[in-house]
Amino acid sequence: MFTRKDVLGLRDMSREEILSILDTACEMKKKVNDPCLRSDELKNTSIVTLFYENSTRTKTSFSLAGKYLGATVQDLGIASSSVKKGESLIDTGRTIDQMGVDVMVMRHSLTGAPHVLAANVKAHVINAGDGANEHPTQALLDLYTIRDYKKSFDGLKVAIIGDISHSRVARSNVFGLGKLGAEVVLAGPSTMLGGFGKLGVHTTTDVKEAINGADVIMGLRIQFERFKTMSFPGLEEYRQLFGLNSEMIKKYAKKDVLIMHPGPVNRGIEFSTEVVDSGNSVINIQVKNGVAVRMAVLKLLMEGGHVK
């Protein structure tokens, strides 16, 4: 059953809810692949995207997801809106709420901002990333992609490498993968590993240990914009200590390891170009699945609990 008003994170989502989204996304993916199957199920649905933080792929993905289901999608250009005149988040939300909007998709640099919005508007709110907290639809598309290739999560070893402590993608994946039964290992510089010790996952500063026997390797983008003070000396040092190349992956990970990345990739930093473009890489497929997963989330929210 999917009866929740908002999708704010995977931390408070049940295993059943996650699976119902993944199942629905299977149907949706056909529509992404074949324009003839695109429908108007959400014909009378109005969606507004509010991106307080820059994004190209997530915003476009949500926008297309809505359109493929026949919804009206409008972006509130934050840069040119009353937000720049100092309007509060709650006031902006309430204003948009009055315009007959069914779903608000929000990205914000502050943790909990979508939760505050959700508590103050009638519309459904989808969190498209809040601060260093959660990015639920990214994790859902990652879960979808993993399940698509590996069929089951039981006993899977998933290594997530990079700037863990600033990563909402890592957090949502930790919550989601944990609920579905996978083993998660997080690796990165000790100064970027904080914040996960108590979440029941293994953390290590040894990238080889992390990818040893891994079924999935997820690289995370080094997010320069989130550093108040640099927590490692430089990109070259990072590449040497934590960057992954094909030799290492061949030596330590499983043969059929999936190489994933939420993008945008810093080529030659997190992964060598070879790895990004290798046969094991599903980085581009993740993007396609992202549209399908977001269609599923929109559909389930609007249907309010009917999983077909």
Partner 1 sequence: MKILIKNGRIINPAAGFDKVADLLISGKKVEKIGKNISEAADKTIDAKGRIVIPGLIDVHVHLREPGFEYKETIESGSHAAAAGGFTTICCMPNTKPVIDSEIMVEYIKLKAKREAVVNVLPIGAITKGQNGEELAEIGKMAKAGACAISEDGKSVENSGLLKTAMNYSKMFSIPVLSHCEDKSLVSGGCMNAGEQCQIMGLKGISNDSEDVIVARDIILAKSTGAKLHLCHVSTKGAIDLIKDAKARGQEISAEITPHHFTLDDTAVNSYNANTKMNPPLRSKEDVEAVRQALKDGTVDIIATDHAPHSSDEKNCEYENAAFGIVGLETALSLGLTVLVDGGYLTESQLIEKMSVNPAKLLGIQKGNISEGFEADITIVDPNAEYLIDSSTFLSKGKNTAFNGYKVRGKVETTIVGGKIVYEKGKIK
Point out which residues bind partner 1 (CB under 8 A).
11, 88-90, 108, 110-113, 115-116, 130-134, 168, 171, 194-199, 228-229
Residue 258, helix vs strand vs coil? strand
- Compare residues 91 and 277 and give the one whose CB is closer to partner 1: 91
Q: What gap in Å lies between CA 30 and CA 27, rounded to an integer?
A: 6
**Residue 60: Cβ-neighbour burial (10 angstroms; 0-12, 13-18, 19+):** middle
Q: What gap in Å lies between CA 205 and CA 191, rounded to an integer?
A: 10
Which 8-state DSSP code applies to residue 80? G
- Residues forming a β-bridge with 46: 72
Provide, rounded to whole angstroms, the least separation between the CB of residue 9 and partner 1.
8
**Residue 240: Cβ-neighbour burial (10 angstroms; 0-12, 13-18, 19+):** exposed
Q: Hey, what amino acid is at 7?
A: V
Provide, rounded to whole angstroms, the least separation between the CB of residue 130 and partner 1.
8
Helices 57-68 & 136-150 angle (0-180, nearest 10): 70
- Compare residues 24 and 167 and give the one whose CB is closer to partner 1: 167
- Compare residues 231 and 245 and give the one whose CB is closer to partner 1: 231
53-56 contact pairs (CB < 8 A, 24+): 53/107, 53/108, 53/109, 53/129, 55/107, 55/128, 55/129
Q: What gap in Å lies between CA 87 and CA 260, rounded to an integer?
A: 38
- Compare residues 194 and 304 and give the one whose CB is closer to partner 1: 194
Q: What gap in Å lies between CA 126 and CA 293, rounded to an integer?
A: 12
- Compare residues 60 and 205 and give the one whose CB is closer to partner 1: 205
Provide, rounded to whole angstroms, the least separation between the CB of residue 191 and partner 1.
12
- Compare residues 115 and 254 and give the one whose CB is closer to partner 1: 115
Provide, rounded to whole angstroms, the least separation between the CB of residue 32 and partner 1.
30
- Compare residues 131 and 219 and give the one whose CB is closer to partner 1: 131
Provide, rounded to whole angstroms, the least separation between the CB of residue 115 and partner 1.
5
- Compare residues 228 and 255 and give the one whose CB is closer to partner 1: 228
Provide, rounded to whole angstroms, the least separation between the CB of residue 108 and partner 1.
7
Provide, rounded to whole angstroms, the least separation between the CB of residue 243 and partner 1.
26
Closest to 103 (Cα-Cα) out of 295, 292, 307, 308: 295
Provide, rounded to whole angstroms, the least separation between the CB of residue 201 and partner 1.
10
Q: What gap in Å lies between CA 249 and CA 261, rounded to an integer?
A: 15
Q: Hey, what amino acid is at 164?
A: I
